[in-house]
Structures are given as C-alpha cells and as structure tokens.
C-alpha cells in the first residue's frame, strides 16, 4: 500500500499521466527519418506523409488519455478470511460517458502477477477481482492499483495510480489439531451429529418453514403437502429451528471461552486456539461465549455469534488506528 496515495473515486484529466511507449519511440525515429529524407530530396509527398503520420501520433496521444480520464472508481471488500488465506477485493470501473473504454490494464503495486484487462461499454461498468494474501490478523487494506492503457495505436501509454478505499477483516488462523473444548464440569458432551440432523441447542425444535429439497435430506422431512400442490414436479423439505425456550435454556448451559485461562501460551497462540474452539463449538451445537479482557460475549449460537467472536479475536490488542472499521 502506498501511504501517500489518496483514494480517487474519479479520474480527472489532470490525474492521468502519459508517456511514449517503445513503439512510440520507434515511430518518432521513423518520423525523423522521413522528415530528413523529405528535406534532402525536396519531396512534397514526403512532407505530406511526415505531417500526416505526426498528426496520427498526436491523435493517438489524445485518445489514449481520454480512454482513462473520466472513469469513476469504486471498491468492494470481500468476506472476512482467516490468516494464511486469500482476501478478495472487487474493483468496479464505471463509465458514465457515451464512449466505450478499451483494453484498460489493472496491476497491483508490487505484485508479479500479470495485469488484468478490462473493457467498459458506454454507460456501463466492469468489475475486476483482485486476490491478496492475508498474512496476519486485523484489517487488510486493499493494495494500490495501477491503471494503464495504450489504446488505440499503442504509441503512448496513459497511466495513473489508485488507492481503493476498502479493506477486509482477517481472523486469527485457527490452531491445527487444537485440543477438545473445555467442557464445564458435570456437562455431558453431545453426540456427534450427522449433516442431515437439524442442530438443536436444547432438544426442542419448531417448524420454521419449507425450502427446496437438497440431496441428502432425510425422507421423513419431506413436505408432502407442498409437493402435492406442485403435482410432484418439485420436491420440498421441512426446515426446523430451535424453539425460543430451547435457545434461552441453551444460553444458560453454554460454555465461556476465557482468554486469560490460556496464559501459558504465546499471545497469538491463544487467539489461534480460541478461534479453533469457536469453530468447534459452532459445529458441535454447544452455545459458547467469549471473555477477552474487559469484553464479554454471552453464550449463544449462530453465524452472528461466530462472526462476533472471531471479530473480537481479530482486533484484540491492535492499535486504535487498525481497529476501527
């Protein structure tokens, strides 16, 4: 990331730089040779050819700059990832003018990967995804991007830098082969569930609705009434969720993962183990909470609870400038 490079939601003409390409330098040498020949031999057609070729080069310089100028830029962060994985950013190039844009190259700063090519229709937009290695937990800023193009003749290269205003949250890498969950004394560990069994926090389930049949759904969960309404053309399965009273009871019987209890481990190793335990508890169906210094998350289940715990682990003890979203 280039720290001094500001975010540029719109590319004005003053922000687009231009320089001759290698083909442009060779073309300039050819123009010089044509002009010398026309002067030495006093060829009127030689003068005309030289001036026409120079006019084409000037027009190419103008169109190469206009191919980039006026673009609107936007960036969308991807989903949170774990450290050691790949973070994805989606860059949107928006063309609000009536002329299409062609062969725009996008290259990440400091990346050896080949640049991406994008064409943008008139009054349209193009999305380009870039992938960045997530090496450590916390916020990962989108890398700076170089936009360039040599359309139409390739004699000049127009280019500019853009710092996308987007970032992805990187969770701690879960510990491999983490020990079992620290079950409270007197609590019986639930049996391992099969993928077809609905997860229950306290045993009581209530019907939440029906959905399209998925391969592997048990036959006793088929919604025969809805199937009959569609004359058997489509299959539906009943979908269950824990009852409200079961969720209340589960919250009282959950476990609380305590960061201070892992004082024997290194700071990052503690977070990795807690991340692994959060994922284990979510898969097991046991309500879980988290005590992380002064922060306490009460036991619960679900994607929102999992994301809240992993987010707290990702931002633990980071400088304030890196914690704010």
pLDDT tens per residue across span 21-52: 999 999 999 999 999 999 999 899 999 999 99
> Strands, E, within the chain: which ranges?
17-20, 72-77, 81-82, 86-94, 101-108, 116-120, 125-133, 138-141, 145-149, 156-162, 167-171, 205-212, 236-242, 255-258, 288-292, 295-300
pLDDT digits (tens, 9 = 90+) for 281-311: 999 888 999 999 889 999 998 999 999 999 9
Q: How far apart are CA 115 and CA 147, in angstroms?
A: 9
Rounded Cα distance between 92 and 73, Å, is 6
pLDDT at 67 over 70: yes
pLDDT at 137 over 70: yes
**Model pTM score:** 0.71
**Segment 162-182 mean pLDDT:** 92
pLDDT one-digit tens code per residue, 85-105:
999 999 999 999 999 999 999
- Give 192-245 pLDDT, tens digit per residue: 444 444 444 444 456 656 667 777 677 777 877 767 766 666 677 776 655 544
Q: What pLDDT is stored for residue 40 in this prediction?
A: 93
pLDDT of residue 7: 47
């Amino acid at each position: 990331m280039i720290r001094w490079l500001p975010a540029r939601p719109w590319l004005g003409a003053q922000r687009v730089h231009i320089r001759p390409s290698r083909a442009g330098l060779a073309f300039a040498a050819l123009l010089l040779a044509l002009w010398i020949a026309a002067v030495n031999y006093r060829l009127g057609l030689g003068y005309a050819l030289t001036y026409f070729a120079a006019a084409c080069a000037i027009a190419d310089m103008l169109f190469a700059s206009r191919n980039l100028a006026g673009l609107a830029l936007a960036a969308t962060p991807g989903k949170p990832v774990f450290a050691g994985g790949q973070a994805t950013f989606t860059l949107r190039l928006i063309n609000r003018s009536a002329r299409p844009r062609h062969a725009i190259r996008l290259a990440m700063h400091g990346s050896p990967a080949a640049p991406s090519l994008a064409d943008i229709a008139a009054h349209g937009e193009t999305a380009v995804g870039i992938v960045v290695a997530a090496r450590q937990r916390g916020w990962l800023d989108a890398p700076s991007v170089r936009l360039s193009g040599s359309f139409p003749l390739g004699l000049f290269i127009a280019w500019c830098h853009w710092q996308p205003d987007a970032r992805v949250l990187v969770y701690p890498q879960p510990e491999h082969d983490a020990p079992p969950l620290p079950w409270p004394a007197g609590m019986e560990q639930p049996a391992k569930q099969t993928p077809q069994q609905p997860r229950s926090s306290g045993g009581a389930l209530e019907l939440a609705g029906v959905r399209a049949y998925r391969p592997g759904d048990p036959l006793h969960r088929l919604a025969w009434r809805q199937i009959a309404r569609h004359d058997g053309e489509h299959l539906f399965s009943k979908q269950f969720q824990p009852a409200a009273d079961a969720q209340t009871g589960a919250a009282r019987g959950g476990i609380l993962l305590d960061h201070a209890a892992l004082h024997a481990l290194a700071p990052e190793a503690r977070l990795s183990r807690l991340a692994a335990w959060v994922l284990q508890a979510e898969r097991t169906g046991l309500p879980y909470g988290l005590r992380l210094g002064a922060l306490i998350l009460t036991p619960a289940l679900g994607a929102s609870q999992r994301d809240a715990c992993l987010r707290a682990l990702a931002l633990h003890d980071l400088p304030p400038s890196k914690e704010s979203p």
